[in-house]
Amino acid sequence: MGSKGELVVHGLSESDVAILTAAGEAGGLEVLVMSGPSEMRQKVRAPHPVAAVLGIGGKGGVDTGAISLLRFVRRELPVIVVADEDSLELERSAREAGIFYYFVSPLDPKEVKAVVEDVLRQRRSLGAKS
């Protein structure tokens, strides 16, 4: 694997995936789009993913229960959420489930790049403590 790791993605629009892919590749990450939550749960068990990115609400998105499942499978894995709508209730529920960051679609490329850099910085600091 020639990358620094993987961003595992599910439930995002094509345009949001494109923005996330550009930011991930700029950080040396491979972006893998999963076909469903069960495939994503299996993938995050491996050591390569540096973060999971979930679309919540709307078409193709999951509910916030999927965040808890991912955190159960791999507690230290940052979970980034992309919501289709700006909903305080959805954001509150996602934050209570332990997310790393909350976006509202459409994504802002500069903001995504900054969050990817934060994920990589966190991974380096956790690796230094191990």
Q: Which CATH number fits domain 5-34+43-120: 3.90.110.10, 3.30.1490.20, 3.40.50.2300, 1.10.540.10?
A: 3.40.50.2300
The per-residue pLDDT for range 40-82, each reduced to its tens digit, is: 888 988 888 999 999 987 665 677 888 888 888 898 999 999 9
The per-residue pLDDT for range 31-47, each reduced to its tens digit, is: 999 988 788 888 988 88
Is the pTM of the predicted complex or chain greater than 0.85? yes
Question: Please, what is the average pLDDT of the chain?
Answer: 88
Given the structure tokens 């791999």, which residue do they identify?
74
Show the CA angle centred on residue 32, arms to residues 87 and 67, nearest 5°.
35
DSSP state of 117: H
CB 95 within 8 A of CB 87: no
